[in-house]
Protein backbone atom coordinates (compact mmCIF):
# COMPACT_ATOMS: atom_id res chain seq x y z
CA UNK A 1 0.00 0.00 0.00
CA UNK A 2 2.72 2.44 0.99
CA UNK A 3 4.56 1.76 -2.21
CA UNK A 4 1.66 3.28 -4.07
CA UNK A 5 2.37 6.59 -2.35
CA UNK A 6 5.97 6.56 -3.46
CA UNK A 7 4.91 5.44 -6.95
CA UNK A 8 2.48 8.33 -7.07
CA UNK A 9 5.25 10.89 -6.45
CA UNK A 10 7.55 9.02 -8.87
CA UNK A 11 10.39 8.05 -6.52
CA UNK A 12 12.52 5.23 -7.91
CA UNK A 13 11.94 1.98 -5.98
CA UNK A 14 15.57 1.59 -4.92
CA UNK A 15 15.42 4.95 -3.07
CA UNK A 16 12.47 3.95 -0.88
CA UNK A 17 14.51 2.11 1.83
CA UNK A 18 17.00 5.03 1.88
CA UNK A 19 14.13 7.46 2.39
CA UNK A 20 12.57 5.38 5.19
CA UNK A 21 15.91 5.04 7.03
CA UNK A 22 16.42 8.79 6.66
CA UNK A 23 13.03 9.61 8.15
CA UNK A 24 13.53 7.20 11.08
CA UNK A 25 16.98 8.64 11.84
CA UNK A 26 15.54 12.15 11.70
CA UNK A 27 12.84 11.32 14.25
CA UNK A 28 15.35 9.58 16.54
CA UNK A 29 17.67 12.57 16.27
CA UNK A 30 14.89 14.97 17.21
CA UNK A 31 14.07 13.01 20.37
CA UNK A 32 17.73 12.63 21.26
CA UNK A 33 18.35 16.37 20.93
CA UNK A 34 15.29 17.36 22.94
CA UNK A 35 16.29 14.98 25.73
CA UNK A 36 19.89 16.11 25.58
CA UNK A 37 18.97 19.78 25.89
CA UNK A 38 16.39 19.41 28.62
CA UNK A 39 19.03 17.51 30.59
CA UNK A 40 21.74 20.09 30.03
CA UNK A 41 19.47 23.08 30.40
CA UNK A 42 22.23 25.51 31.37
CA UNK A 43 24.00 24.91 28.05
CA UNK A 44 20.76 25.32 26.13
CA UNK A 45 20.08 28.77 27.59
CA UNK A 46 23.67 30.01 27.64
CA UNK A 47 22.68 32.55 24.95
CA UNK A 48 21.47 34.52 27.97
CA UNK A 49 25.05 35.68 28.69
CA UNK A 50 25.95 36.47 25.07
CA UNK A 51 27.44 39.97 24.77
CA UNK A 52 27.04 40.67 28.50
CA UNK A 53 30.05 42.44 29.98
CA UNK A 54 31.02 40.48 33.07
CA UNK A 55 33.85 41.38 35.43
CA UNK A 56 35.40 38.36 37.12
CA UNK A 57 37.52 39.47 40.06
CA UNK A 58 39.99 37.06 41.61
CA UNK A 59 40.36 38.40 45.16
CA UNK A 60 43.80 39.38 46.57
CA UNK A 61 47.04 38.56 44.69
CA UNK A 62 50.74 39.43 44.76
CA UNK A 63 51.90 40.51 48.21
CA UNK A 64 48.36 39.98 49.55
CA UNK A 65 47.76 36.21 49.92
CA UNK A 66 44.31 36.54 51.54
CA UNK A 67 43.49 33.75 53.98
CA UNK A 68 46.00 30.96 54.54
CA UNK A 69 44.71 27.40 55.07
CA UNK A 70 45.92 25.01 57.82
CA UNK A 71 48.19 23.19 55.36
CA UNK A 72 49.38 26.42 53.75
CA UNK A 73 47.02 26.79 50.76
CA UNK A 74 46.76 30.48 49.82
CA UNK A 75 43.38 32.01 49.15
CA UNK A 76 44.73 34.19 46.30
CA UNK A 77 45.66 31.06 44.30
CA UNK A 78 42.27 29.37 44.78
CA UNK A 79 40.50 32.60 43.80
CA UNK A 80 42.53 32.93 40.61
CA UNK A 81 42.08 29.27 39.60
CA UNK A 82 38.28 29.43 40.02
CA UNK A 83 38.13 32.86 38.31
CA UNK A 84 40.02 31.55 35.26
CA UNK A 85 37.67 28.57 34.89
CA UNK A 86 34.66 30.84 35.28
CA UNK A 87 36.11 33.11 32.60
CA UNK A 88 36.37 30.09 30.24
CA UNK A 89 32.75 29.07 30.77
CA UNK A 90 31.44 32.61 30.35
CA UNK A 91 33.54 33.24 27.23
CA UNK A 92 32.28 30.01 25.67
CA UNK A 93 28.74 31.25 26.37
CA UNK A 94 29.54 34.42 24.40
CA UNK A 95 30.02 36.85 27.32
CA UNK A 96 32.62 39.62 27.21
CA UNK A 97 34.71 38.82 30.27
CA UNK A 98 36.98 41.33 31.98
CA UNK A 99 39.37 39.76 34.52
CA UNK A 100 40.72 42.11 37.21
CA UNK A 101 43.87 39.99 37.26
CA UNK A 102 45.11 37.01 35.27
CA UNK A 103 48.21 36.22 37.30
CA UNK A 104 49.66 36.54 40.78
CA UNK A 105 49.58 40.31 41.27
CA UNK A 106 47.54 43.09 42.78
CA UNK A 107 47.06 46.75 41.83
CA UNK A 108 48.54 48.32 44.95
CA UNK A 109 50.20 47.38 48.21
CA UNK A 110 47.48 49.43 49.91
CA UNK A 111 44.22 47.51 50.30
CA UNK A 112 41.87 50.40 49.54
CA UNK A 113 43.80 51.51 46.46
CA UNK A 114 43.82 47.89 45.23
CA UNK A 115 40.03 47.61 45.56
CA UNK A 116 39.52 51.07 44.04
CA UNK A 117 41.48 50.00 40.95
CA UNK A 118 39.27 46.91 40.52
CA UNK A 119 36.16 49.06 40.93
CA UNK A 120 37.44 51.64 38.42
CA UNK A 121 38.10 48.87 35.89
CA UNK A 122 34.51 47.62 36.16
CA UNK A 123 33.05 51.12 35.86
CA UNK A 124 35.29 51.90 32.87
CA UNK A 125 33.98 48.82 31.02
CA UNK A 126 30.39 49.61 32.07
CA UNK A 127 30.05 46.03 33.23
CA UNK A 128 26.60 44.43 33.43
CA UNK A 129 27.58 42.48 36.54
CA UNK A 130 30.60 42.09 38.83
CA UNK A 131 31.59 38.77 40.43
CA UNK A 132 34.29 38.73 43.10
CA UNK A 133 35.74 35.31 43.85
CA UNK A 134 36.93 34.98 47.44
CA UNK A 135 37.67 32.29 50.02
CA UNK A 136 36.28 32.29 53.52
CA UNK A 137 38.27 31.75 56.71
CA UNK A 138 37.36 31.73 60.37
CA UNK A 139 39.10 30.76 63.59
CA UNK A 140 37.05 27.58 64.03
CA UNK A 141 37.96 24.81 61.57
CA UNK A 142 34.44 23.33 61.64
CA UNK A 143 32.70 25.76 59.29
CA UNK A 144 32.34 24.79 55.65
CA UNK A 145 30.37 25.56 52.50
CA UNK A 146 30.32 28.09 49.69
CA UNK A 147 28.21 31.22 50.18
CA UNK A 148 27.25 34.24 48.06
CA UNK A 149 26.88 37.79 49.38
CA UNK A 150 25.17 40.91 48.01
CA UNK A 151 24.48 44.46 49.12
CA UNK A 152 21.01 44.78 50.70
CA UNK A 153 20.43 48.00 48.73
CA UNK A 154 20.70 46.21 45.38
CA UNK A 155 17.62 44.26 44.25
CA UNK A 156 19.44 42.94 41.15
CA UNK A 157 22.50 42.07 43.22
CA UNK A 158 20.26 40.01 45.46
CA UNK A 159 18.65 38.19 42.49
CA UNK A 160 22.07 37.38 41.07
CA UNK A 161 23.35 36.16 44.47
CA UNK A 162 20.29 33.96 45.04
CA UNK A 163 20.60 32.44 41.56
CA UNK A 164 24.34 31.68 41.98
CA UNK A 165 23.86 30.30 45.49
CA UNK A 166 20.99 28.03 44.36
CA UNK A 167 23.17 26.55 41.64
CA UNK A 168 26.08 26.02 44.06
CA UNK A 169 23.77 24.20 46.47
CA UNK A 170 22.34 22.10 43.59
CA UNK A 171 25.61 21.27 41.84
CA UNK A 172 28.17 21.08 44.68
CA UNK A 173 25.78 19.12 46.95
CA UNK A 174 27.82 19.95 50.06
CA UNK A 175 26.16 23.04 51.51
CA UNK A 176 22.70 24.33 52.37
CA UNK A 177 23.90 27.91 52.86
CA UNK A 178 21.73 30.71 51.50
CA UNK A 179 22.67 33.99 49.80
CA UNK A 180 23.21 36.66 52.46
CA UNK A 181 23.10 40.47 52.50
CA UNK A 182 26.37 42.09 53.55
CA UNK A 183 26.86 45.76 54.34
CA UNK A 184 30.51 45.59 55.37
CA UNK A 185 32.19 44.72 52.07
CA UNK A 186 33.70 47.79 50.40
CA UNK A 187 33.30 46.40 46.87
CA UNK A 188 29.59 45.65 47.41
CA UNK A 189 29.02 49.21 48.68
CA UNK A 190 30.95 51.02 45.97
CA UNK A 191 30.00 49.32 42.70
CA UNK A 192 26.93 50.59 40.82
CA UNK A 193 26.19 47.41 38.80
CA UNK A 194 24.75 44.19 40.33
CA UNK A 195 27.66 42.82 42.34
CA UNK A 196 28.21 39.62 44.28
CA UNK A 197 31.00 38.26 46.44
CA UNK A 198 31.24 34.47 46.07
CA UNK A 199 33.03 32.88 49.02
CA UNK A 200 33.89 29.56 47.35
CA UNK A 201 34.39 27.76 50.67
CA UNK A 202 36.21 27.82 54.00
CA UNK A 203 39.96 27.58 53.54
CA UNK A 204 40.16 27.32 57.35
CA UNK A 205 38.45 23.89 57.18
CA UNK A 206 41.11 21.21 56.42
CA UNK A 207 38.79 19.07 54.25
CA UNK A 208 37.47 22.03 52.31
CA UNK A 209 40.98 23.47 51.96
CA UNK A 210 42.00 20.22 50.27
CA UNK A 211 38.94 20.20 47.99
CA UNK A 212 39.39 23.83 46.99
CA UNK A 213 42.96 23.07 45.97
CA UNK A 214 41.78 20.33 43.57
CA UNK A 215 41.49 21.58 39.94
CA UNK A 216 38.49 19.31 39.34
CA UNK A 217 36.58 20.80 42.27
CA UNK A 218 37.64 24.31 41.20
CA UNK A 219 36.04 23.58 37.81
CA UNK A 220 32.87 22.36 39.46
CA UNK A 221 32.59 25.52 41.58
CA UNK A 222 33.20 27.68 38.49
CA UNK A 223 30.54 25.76 36.55
CA UNK A 224 28.02 26.24 39.38
CA UNK A 225 28.66 30.00 39.42
CA UNK A 226 28.39 30.09 35.62
CA UNK A 227 25.10 28.22 35.74
CA UNK A 228 23.74 30.70 38.30
CA UNK A 229 24.78 33.64 36.11
CA UNK A 230 23.12 32.09 33.02
CA UNK A 231 19.91 31.53 34.95
CA UNK A 232 19.98 35.08 36.32
CA UNK A 233 20.22 36.59 32.82
CA UNK A 234 17.68 34.18 31.32
CA UNK A 235 15.06 35.51 33.78
CA UNK A 236 15.69 39.13 32.84
Q: Which residues bind Zn ion (CB under 5 A)?
A: 59, 66, 134
Q: For residues 66 and 69, which CB has a smaller minimum distance to Zn ion in the complex?
A: 66
CA distance 230 to 221: 14
Q: For residues 167 and 199, which CB has a smaller minimum distance to Zn ion in the complex?
A: 199
Q: For residues 59 and 93, which CB has a smaller minimum distance to Zn ion in the complex?
A: 59
The CB-of-92 to Zn ion minimum distance in angstroms stands at: 27
The CB-of-94 to Zn ion minimum distance in angstroms stands at: 29
The CB-of-191 to Zn ion minimum distance in angstroms stands at: 16
Q: For residues 42 and 134, which CB has a smaller minimum distance to Zn ion in the complex?
A: 134
CA distance 217 to 211: 6
The CB-of-118 to Zn ion minimum distance in angstroms stands at: 12
Beta strand 53-58 pairing with 129-136: parallel
The CB-of-59 to Zn ion minimum distance in angstroms stands at: 4
Q: For residues 102 and 155, which CB has a smaller minimum distance to Zn ion in the complex?
A: 102
The CB-of-132 to Zn ion minimum distance in angstroms stands at: 8
Cβ-proximal residue to Zn ion, closest one: 134
Q: For residues 66 and 93, which CB has a smaller minimum distance to Zn ion in the complex?
A: 66
Amino acid sequence: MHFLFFRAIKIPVFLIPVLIVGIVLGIMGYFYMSFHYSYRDTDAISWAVANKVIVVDAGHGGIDPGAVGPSGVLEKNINLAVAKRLCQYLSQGGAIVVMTREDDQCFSSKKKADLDARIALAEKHQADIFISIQGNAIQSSRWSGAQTFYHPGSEEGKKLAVSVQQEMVRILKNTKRQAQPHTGAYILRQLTMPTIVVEVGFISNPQEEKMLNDPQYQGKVAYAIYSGVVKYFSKE
